[in-house]
Amino acid sequence: MESKVRESAFRRKIKALIPFQIQKFLYNFIKKFRLAKNIAKNKYAKEDIKKFLTDAGIKKGDAVMLHSSLGRVGYVEGGADTIIEAFIEIIGEEGILIMPTFSAPEYDEKRKIYVFDVKKTPSYTGAIPETFRLRNGVKRSISPMHSVAAHGKKAGWLVQGHENCDNPYSMRGPFGKLYELNAKICQIGVDQLANSCIHIVEDKIKFPIKIFSDKIKAEIIDENGKKKIIWFRKHLDNLYKTRNNNILEKYLLEEKLMKIYPFGNTELRVHKVKDLVHLMEKLAKKGITIYNS
């Protein structure tokens, strides 16, 4: 099946030639046109969303890490909240819904320090995570650039301690806990370009290349408004130049570790954290990583 989501090599080459600001301008224009078309032609209610999810095997008690593009689904009545509620109503309180709420924290030039406020710093990972993190009962981890938000009985446990981890993908932090839970990775309208669990392996094994920066100072503000100084790491800046996450699509599909389901106008990818991590460990042993393909 031709993927509606995966970027072709041709498109990637064209994109590389267009300055980022122009790409952003063009994408905003495309989004407006797409939304108007969807309002007229492709509307989905909560029950439709729940049916797409149950058809893809999502069930009560599941741990789900969700990456999403709302705009690619079609017009969703009730917007981001409808998608969030559909998941919560299916997996229930025993289940756990997690989303990346990654952010570009403010930089205080005077004090030469990043400032991350768990309540106020916005995420850039889309309308669904941004709506999710602000909902009652949702917990957000403290990590200046790589926080996650979670809902369900285990949410507090999952987000706890991210600020004390050596790096954002530490096996001791929320991403290690996703591995422990063997969470399902659900990707609505996005491919491996937007899959943060691909970085778990970078902490779990002795990774063949240097990935993380030296420690950077940040002031964090917790949900009670209490301030604290921490040190965090991020990915080295040069890595994005050679990174090709989508080599994983081929292996995940060839080894039958991921399934692609219809989801409104787009696709829903479903796979599991342990399968992904074990596949990447195996590939790393053969010298294959997302940074050298």
Ligand X SMILES: CC(C)(COP(=O)(O)OP(=O)(O)OC[C@H]1O[C@@H](n2cnc3c(N)ncnc32)[C@H](O)[C@@H]1OP(=O)(O)O)[C@@H](O)C(=O)NCCC(=O)NCCS
Query: By the 8 A CB rule, do 177 and 202 touch?
Result: no
Q: Residues 74 to 93: which contact ligand X by CB under 6 A? A: 75-76, 79
Report in angstroms how near the CB of residue 70 gets to ligand X at its nearest.
3
**What tokens were used for 48?**
């439709």
- Contact present, 78 and 196 (Cβ < 8 Å): no
For position 173 contacting ligand X by CB under 6 A, the verdict is no
Among 103, 131, 196, 266, binds ligand X (CB under 6 A): 196
Q: Is residue 96 near ligand X by the rule CB under 6 A?
A: no
Of 11, 15, 24, 31, the residue at the interface with ligand X (CB under 6 A) is 31
Binding segment (CB under 6 A) for ligand X, from list 67-75, 224-232, 266-274, 282-290? 67-75
The whole-angstrom separation of Cα 187 and Cα 65 is 8
Longest dimension (CA), the chain: 54
175 binds ligand X (CB under 6 A): no
Q: How far is CA 105 from the centre of its chain?
A: 17
Instruction: Closer to ligand X by CB, 145 or 219: give it.
Output: 145
Long-range contacts of 279-282 (CB under 8 A, 24+ apart): 279/248, 279/251, 279/252, 279/255, 280/198, 280/200, 280/201, 280/248, 281/201, 281/204, 281/205
Q: CB of residue 196 vs ligand X: minimum separation in angstroms? A: 5
Residue from the set 127, 253, 257, 283 that interacts with ligand X by CB under 6 A: 127
Q: Applying CB under 6 A, does 190 fall inside the site for ligand X?
A: yes
Residues 6+ apart with CB under 8 A from 79: 70, 127, 131
Query: Which is nearest to 227 in space by CA: 130, 120, 123?
Result: 120
35 counts as binding ligand X under rule CB under 6 A: yes
Measured CA distances, 52 to 180, 226, 258 (Å): 27, 42, 16
Residue closer to ligand X by CB (options 69, 160) is 69
Give the residue with the Cβ less far from ligand X, 170 or 196.
Answer: 196
Sign, Cα dihedral of 188, 194, 198, 200? negative
- Closest CB to ligand X among residues 219, 232: 232
**Which burial class, exposed, middle or buried, applies to 274 when counting CB atoms under 10 A from its CB (0-12, 13-18, 19+)?**
middle
Q: Which of 48, 219 has the CB closer to ligand X?
A: 48
Q: Does 73 bind ligand X (CB under 6 A)?
A: yes
Shortest distance, position 281 Cβ to ligand X, whole Å: 20
Q: Is 125 in the site for ligand X (CB under 6 A)?
A: yes
244 binds ligand X (CB under 6 A): no
> Which spans of this chain sit near ligand X (rule: CB under 6 A)?
31, 35, 67-73, 75-76, 79, 100, 102, 125-128, 190, 194, 196
